[in-house]
Structure 1
Amino acid sequence: MAGDGKYGILHVPDFSDGMSSYLRIGATPDDDNTWRDETDGNRITTTRGDKIEVIGGTYTMKVLGRREFKATTEVEEGRIKEGGITFQGRSEIEFVKGPRGQRKIRETTVKGEVHSTYHGDAFEYHYGPRLVSRTGDPNTPTPIEDYPSVMTENPTIVSRTWAKSISSYTGSAKLPVPKITEETWAETMVSTTHVKTMTDETTVKGPSKESMKAGSITSTTTVEQTISDTTTAGTIKNKTTADKIISETRADTEDEMYGDADSYTKGDSKTVVDGIETTINLGVVNEVVLGAMIEATLGGEATLSVGATANATLGLETSISVTATLEASVGPSLSMGPAREKVSLDRSKAAPVRTNIAAVHLMV
């Protein structure tokens, strides 16, 4: 007996076949376990004070719980592995090699439904080469009701925030983020913002590109006071391709342009002014008409030219004035052509007046 070690066995009479409870301390020749505590029935342990357990090896606890789920806890080298109904699998903590070859701990957890409530301050700090967040699964079949064996289901996400203030910072001037990519795919998107004041500022050092493709676009802007839009650029290029453009402005308009202006219209052009139109040109006006030109004035017409005026017409020019016409020219006027016919009506004479200019007629 001395060579077999010290042990004690506490035998309890069998209540039925296979039902025995005992407590054994020490090892037997056919069993290397130095401690075995086994109970076939219910067990209640009460500790009225501190309890310290020092385990030099691996610690494993399994709880069957009289149902299909099994809860296990295993501790080995300071790592904890758990499995049960709340994890839907296991929670593992293991040692892995870090980016610089150091030894660090990695925790892997799979959970079921979780409700968390925090009262007080909450802090989260992430340091490491990657931070990946994923919600849902792109391969989950829909509708999920037709696939009862599939465990994954894409959720409905509702996010609501009430706070005294919200501050969000990404990168900094000293350490900016090298690249940010945002991509959104949705069938319907609704965005509503209600604020008292709003400031939006974007600074792009390099080129900026923005594109939109849509079936139709409706934009409505309502401002009670003033809209101020300032654009500063070396060159501005605007290109619009459409079947028809309809523009309506109901306001007094002031347009100032500094620099040369070049306009080209391919097609018919019509301008209707319901009111008084005043055009002032401080400089030389060059008007070239390639084709027929018809001008009709119903009302008074006053033309004032201060400086040289040059009109070149290649084709038929017809001018009809059904009213009094006043022309004042301060400066030389040059008309060139084989013949020019002027018809006017005098109050006392009904016969037309014909003037032929065969060469150059200079009037000062």
Structure 2
Amino acid sequence: MAGDGKYAILHVPDFGDGMSSYLRIGATPDDDYTWRDETDGNRITTTRGDKIEIIGGTYSMKVFGRREFKASSEVEDGRIKQGGITFQGQSEIEFVQGPRGQRRIRETTVKGEVHTTYHGDAVEYHYGSKLVSRTGHPDTPTPIEDYPAVMTENPTIVDRTWAKSISSYTGSAKLPVPSIHEETWAETMVSKTHVTTVTDETTVKGPSKETMKAGSISSTTTVEQTISDTTKAKTIKSKTEADKIISETRADTEDDKYGDADSYTQGDSKTVVDGIETTINLGVVNEVVLGAMVEATLGGEATVSVGGTVNATLGPDVSISVTASFEASVGPSIRMGPAKQKLYLDRSLAAPVRTNIAAVHLLV
């Protein structure tokens, strides 16, 4: 002991140069540490019971582990800073100002390769003004073999899930999310879904807009039973622009329309019916031809009108019947126009007959 300070030195035998170990309590004139515990060799500390350490100042621990990097832990002002190979040199907790002006703690950690396994329940709660998750970087070169000096690399992501059930909720009816923005950029996308039943419901209070641009679109739907599609709207507008449209339907079709129907075709129109065609009009039929009209019937034709029939032709009208033609009118029929050419074919005689209609013929 010495009179200039309260300290004690416990000497142990030297095991070699620079290998002295000692325990000193108290400060010396050239050393401000009041407690120094130093061991140049190995050390084992055993505590057979509880251990409590109370540190009133800064705590720092550094472990080199006989490597070029060091693992360290430092506690200052209630904040913990850690460094090591798993943290890639930094883990820092500091005080920051929260969104409402309050003082809060922020932890910043950078880690290397980490493998984590959970056995049991895992629950996570996130509160705060922001939650940001990012994987990779848009300016990171890849693959890493071509850029070995770059410390980061965009990873390959594999996500596999096996579960009893999966439930995902975003927002609620009481507190919906004000805005959701999603973008996907990919070279190739493959999506497969195998389920027993599917229920998909979308409710849009305002307008809905959907746009697709593609080089080509191929869609295949195979249903064993029935496809039921119901659309309710005040007005439905459909616009298709293409060089050619090919539509093929192999099924018995039934089309019911309730309301006025207006159809406009700019160009030639051809309809071929390989079978029996029956048209029933429960009302007035107005047929206007602004040009030439050619009708050819290769078989029996029967026309029955149970009401007034008005035919207006502003141009030549040619009607050819190779077989018998039968026309019956229960109501009045009015025909007005210039001279009309009629051609009748007989077994031995083919003579054109010209009839001039100078007035109005009322046929009953």
Instruction: State the TM bucket, normalised to the shorter chain.
Output: over 0.9
User: How far 1:269 moved relative to its partner?
Assistant: 0.9
Amino acid across the alignment from 2:156: T
**Aligned ranges 1:48-59 → 2 under 5 Å:** 48-59=48-59
Amino acid across the alignment from 1:262: D
Q: Secondary structure at the match of 2:240?
A: coil
Alpha-carbon distance change, 6 to 272 in structure 1, aligned in 2, over 3 angstroms: same
Q: What do residues 176-195 of structure 1 show as CA deviations (whole Å, max 9, x unaligned)? A: 00011111011111111111
User: How far 1:126 moved relative to its partner?
Assistant: 0.4
Residue in 2 aligned with 1:303?
303
Q: Distance in 2 between matches of 1:33 and 1:50?
A: 26
Q: Secondary structure at the match of 1:151?
A: coil
Q: What do residues 104-149 of structure 1 show as CA deviations (whole Å, max 9, x unaligned)? A: 1111111111111111111100010011111111111122211111
Residue in 1 aligned with 2:356?
356
Residue in 2 aligned with 1:11?
11
**Unaligned 5+ residue runs, structure 2?**
none
For the Cα contact (< 8 Å) 2:80–2:92, is it kept in 1?
Answer: yes
The count of corresponding residues between Structure 1 and Structure 2 is: 364
Alpha-carbon distance change, 204 to 319 in structure 1, aligned in 2, over 3 angstroms: same
Q: Secondary structure at the match of 1:4?
A: coil
Q: What do residues 138-167 of structure 1 show as CA deviations (whole Å, max 9, x unaligned)? A: 111122211111111111111111111111
Residue in 1 aligned with 2:223?
223
Alpha-carbon distance change, 347 to 17 in structure 1, aligned in 2, over 3 angstroms: closer
Residue in 2 aligned with 1:97?
97
Whether 1:41 aligns to 2:41 is yes
**Aligned ranges 1:178-327 → 2 under 5 Å:** 178-327=178-327
Q: Distance in 1 between matches of 2:58 and 2:169?
A: 45
Out of 339-348 and 309-318, give the one that drifted further: 339-348
Amino acid across the alignment from 2:171: G
Out of 208-217 and 143-152, give the one that drifted further: 143-152
Q: Secondary structure at the match of 1:219?
A: coil
User: How far 1:352 moved relative to its partner?
Assistant: 5.2
Residue in 2 aligned with 1:135?
135
Amino acid across the alignment from 1:93: I
User: How far 1:12 moved relative to its partner?
Assistant: 4.3
**Aligned ranges 1:325-344 → 2 under 5 Å:** 325-344=325-344
For the Cα contact (< 8 Å) 1:338–1:359, is it kept in 2?
Answer: no
Alpha-carbon distance change, 128 to 18 in structure 1, aligned in 2, over 3 angstroms: same
For the Cα contact (< 8 Å) 1:87–1:111, is it kept in 2?
Answer: yes
Q: What do residues 292-339 of structure 1 show as CA deviations (whole Å, max 9, x unaligned)? A: 111110001011112121111122211100111110112111111122
Q: Distance in 2 between matches of 1:209 and 1:194?
A: 28
**Unaligned 5+ residue runs, structure 1?**
none
State percent identity of aligned pairs. 86
Amino acid across the alignment from 1:202: T
Whether 1:114 aligns to 2:81 is no
Out of 70-79 and 347-356, give the one that drifted further: 347-356
Amino acid across the alignment from 2:70: K
For the Cα contact (< 8 Å) 2:297–2:321, is it kept in 1?
Answer: yes
For the Cα contact (< 8 Å) 1:295–1:319, is it kept in 2?
Answer: yes
Amino acid across the alignment from 2:302: A
Q: Secondary structure at the match of 1:248?
A: coil
Q: Distance in 1 between matches of 2:245 and 2:202?
A: 31
For the Cα contact (< 8 Å) 2:81–2:91, is it kept in 1?
Answer: yes
Q: What do residues 164-215 of structure 1 show as CA deviations (whole Å, max 9, x unaligned)? A: 1111111110000001111101111111111111100000000000011111
Q: Distance in 1 between matches of 2:217 and 2:349?
A: 65
For the Cα contact (< 8 Å) 2:97–2:104, is it kept in 1?
Answer: yes
Alpha-carbon distance change, 140 to 348 in structure 1, aligned in 2, over 3 angstroms: closer
Residue in 2 aligned with 1:175?
175
Q: Distance in 2 between matches of 1:44 and 1:258?
A: 94
